[in-house]
């Protein structure tokens, strides 16, 4: 009996200490300035078609929504501007107030962007030039410069291979009518044309393969049926380069030795091909950051009235080879704030947001949340004899946890 009383007294003493500790934490948060209370939001994520590149894009948007606690809907455009427009309209009827859109067609998108503005939906577009239509911001890399990098990497790979000139090259273009396909091709030929003019490069074939791996393989098979004297192949995306590579392998050519390959988008299979020495390079953009930043830009606009200036935010793009294939993703994925130069007109407010959402303050808040929930676990394992005290302290800790679930820094 004495032993039982001793346990109860010890447990009660522990509870008193815990109550004081949590009461102190609670008092700290009660006395500090009231936090900014976020509104309820529904965001939409609308990629143009399903492929590895836009799966990464979608992941970036989803991650940002989850970090912010925002409900979201998503729909693939299936290369159909009418379907994409109808999907966006469906989002509007569901109460969507923010949308990140990678447009299937620039011209067809003008009217749906106007509809979004009329319905009070904040929009960020990605990929290609901004074109027309109201929005908060546009996120994209420069497709002409990306095309130039494709050709530069191919020339670099051919030089390193030691192959004699003139180099015989095949180029694959993406879907006709799409901005990315046209601009990347323009960039490729800005680099290749001087080499063609001085006789260092011969264009064996320039084929349209619609960004499609199977079609590129078929087109490459047709080319190889007339000649296997091919030194280099480049394409406006990795799928076309990989399709052509498969055709060359089946024809007995060794990728990386007999034929130098360069693609674009840095999809996982292209990364592996680079590691295996089959592909010389790919050009990476930043699909994850496009959608991830797009969500945050809309959120900051709706919650804090903060809008980037200029509207076009250029996302990273660069060449990926064996030298950086194991590390390049660190530059274009993960929790990264939007570069502050795009908020130079209200820099102090933006820096406060960066500190709140990506800095030490948000990390310390999570740390406090973890500590308080740990205390709750301790309480749940205390003896049942002190049920009343358990109830009191549980209520106190729940209050702190609920408080910590809300943003701490007030910017309004």
Return the domain boundaries, the chain: 2-32+359-404, 42-141+287-315+331-346, 143-284
Q: What does the pLDDT read at residue 360?
A: 59
* CB contact at 8 A, 284 and 333: no
Q: What does the pLDDT read at residue 30?
A: 37
Give 259's DSSP letter.
B
Q: What is the mean pLDDT of residues 146-158?
A: 98
Of 160-164, 242-246, 263-267, 369-373, where does mean pLDDT reach its minimum? 369-373
From residue 157, how far is each of 32, 151, 272, 339 by CA, in Å? Answer: 60, 10, 17, 33
pLDDT band of residue 405 (cuts 50, 70, 90) is very low
Give 255's DSSP letter.
B
Q: What does the pLDDT read at residue 386?
A: 43
Q: What does the pLDDT read at residue 38?
A: 61
Q: What is the mean pLDDT of residues 235-241?
A: 97
**243/257 Cα distance (integer angstroms):** 17
**296/98 Cα distance (integer angstroms):** 10
**283/265 Cα distance (integer angstroms):** 6
Nearest to 56 by CA among 346, 351, 265, 282: 265
Range 143-284: architecture per CATH: 3-Layer(aba) Sandwich (3.40)
* CB contact at 8 A, 256 and 285: no
Residue 407 has pLDDT above 80, yes or no: no
Q: What is the mean pLDDT of residues 181-200?
A: 97
Q: What does the pLDDT read at residue 368?
A: 38
Residue 410 has pLDDT above 90, yes or no: no
- pLDDT tens track for 81-96: 999 999 999 999 999 9
Tokens of 245: 């590579």
Residue 16 has pLDDT above 60, yes or no: no
Q: Look-up: residue for tokens 């996302």? A: 315
Give 170's DSSP letter.
E
Q: What is the mean pLDDT of residues 280-294?
A: 97
Question: In sequence order, what are the beta bridge partners of 284?
Answer: 318
Crossing angle of the two packed helices 287-304 and 52-68, in degrees rounded to 10: 30
**98/162 Cα distance (integer angstroms):** 53
Q: Look-up: residue for tokens 């993960």? A: 334
What predicted TM-score, i.e. pTM, was given to this entire model? 0.74
From residue 220, how far is each of 172, 204, 213, 223 by CA, in Å? Answer: 9, 11, 10, 5
Counting every residue, how long is the chain?
A: 412
Q: What does the pLDDT read at residue 351?
A: 96
Nearest to 142 by CA among 132, 124, 128, 125: 128
Q: Look-up: residue for tokens 């549980």? A: 394
* CB contact at 8 A, 187 and 144: yes
Report the half-sphere exposure of 291 (CA within 13 A, side-chain side): 29
**248/223 Cα distance (integer angstroms):** 10
Rg (CA), the chain: 28
What's the CATH number for 42-141+287-315+331-346? 3.40.50.2300
Tokens of 240: 């076309």
Q: Quote the percentage of the chain above a pLDDT of 70.
A: 78
Of 133-137, 279-283, 396-400, where does mean pLDDT reach its minimum? 396-400
- pLDDT tens track for 350-402: 999 999 999 853 443 333 333 433 444 444 444 444 434 444 444 444 433 33
Of 8-17, 54-63, 180-189, 321-330, where does mean pLDDT reach its minimum? 8-17
Q: What does the pLDDT read at residue 127?
A: 92
Q: What does the pLDDT read at residue 195?
A: 98
User: What is the average pLDDT value for the chain, to the nearest integer?
Assistant: 84
Q: What does the pLDDT read at residue 395?
A: 43
- pLDDT tens track for 20-40: 444 454 444 333 333 444 679
């Amino acid at each position: 009996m004495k032993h039982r009383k001793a346990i109860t007294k010890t447990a009660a003493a522990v509870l008193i200490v815990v109550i004081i500790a949590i009461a102190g934490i609670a008092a700290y948060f009660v006395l500090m300035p009231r936090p900014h209370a976020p509104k309820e939001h529904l965001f939409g994520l609308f990629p143009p078609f399903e492929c590895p590149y836009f799966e990464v894009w979608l992941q970036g948007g989803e991650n940002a929504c989850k970090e912010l606690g925002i409900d979201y809907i998503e729909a693939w455009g299936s290369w159909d501007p009418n379907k994409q427009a109808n999907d966006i309209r469906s989002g509007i009827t569901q109460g969507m107030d923010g949308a990140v859109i990678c447009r299937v067609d620039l011209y067809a998108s003008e009217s749906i962007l106007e509809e979004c503005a009329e319905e009070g939906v904040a929009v960020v577009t990605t990929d290609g030039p901004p074109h027309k239509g109201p929005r908060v911001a546009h996120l994209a890399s420069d497709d002409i410069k990306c095309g130039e990098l494709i050709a530069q990497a191919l020339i670099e790979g051919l030089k390193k291979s030691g192959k004699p000139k003139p180099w015989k090259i095949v180029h694959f273009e993406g879907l006709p009518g799409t901005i990315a396909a046209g601009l990347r091709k323009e960039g490729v030929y800005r680099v290749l044309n001087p080499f063609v003019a001085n006789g260092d490069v011969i264009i064996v074939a320039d084929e349209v393969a619609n960004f499609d791996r199977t079609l590129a393989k078929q087109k490459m098979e047709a080319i190889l049926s007339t000649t296997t004297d091919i030194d280099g192949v480049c394409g406006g995306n990795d799928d076309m380069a990989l399709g052509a590579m498969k055709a060359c392998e089946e024809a007995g050519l060794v990728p990386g030795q007999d034929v130098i390959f360069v693609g674009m988008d840095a999809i996982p299979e292209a990364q592996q091909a680079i590691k295996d020495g089959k592909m010389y390079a790919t050009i990476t953009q930043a699909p994850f950051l496009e959608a991830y930043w797009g969500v945050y830009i809309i959120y900051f606009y709706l919650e804090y009235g903060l809008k980037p200036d200029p509207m076009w935010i250029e996302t990273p793009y660069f060449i990926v080879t064996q030298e950086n294939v194991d590390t390049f993703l660190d530059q274009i994925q993960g929790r990264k704030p939007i570069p502050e130069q795009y908020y130079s007109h209200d820099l102090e407010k933006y820096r406060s947001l960066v500190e709140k959402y990506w800095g030490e303050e948000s990390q310390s808040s999570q740390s406090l949340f973890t500590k308080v929930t740990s205390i709750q676990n301790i309480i749940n394992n205390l003896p049942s004899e002190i049920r009343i005290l358990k109830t009191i302290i549980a209520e106190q800790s729940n209050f702190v946890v609920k408080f910590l679930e809300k943003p701490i820094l007030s910017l309004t």
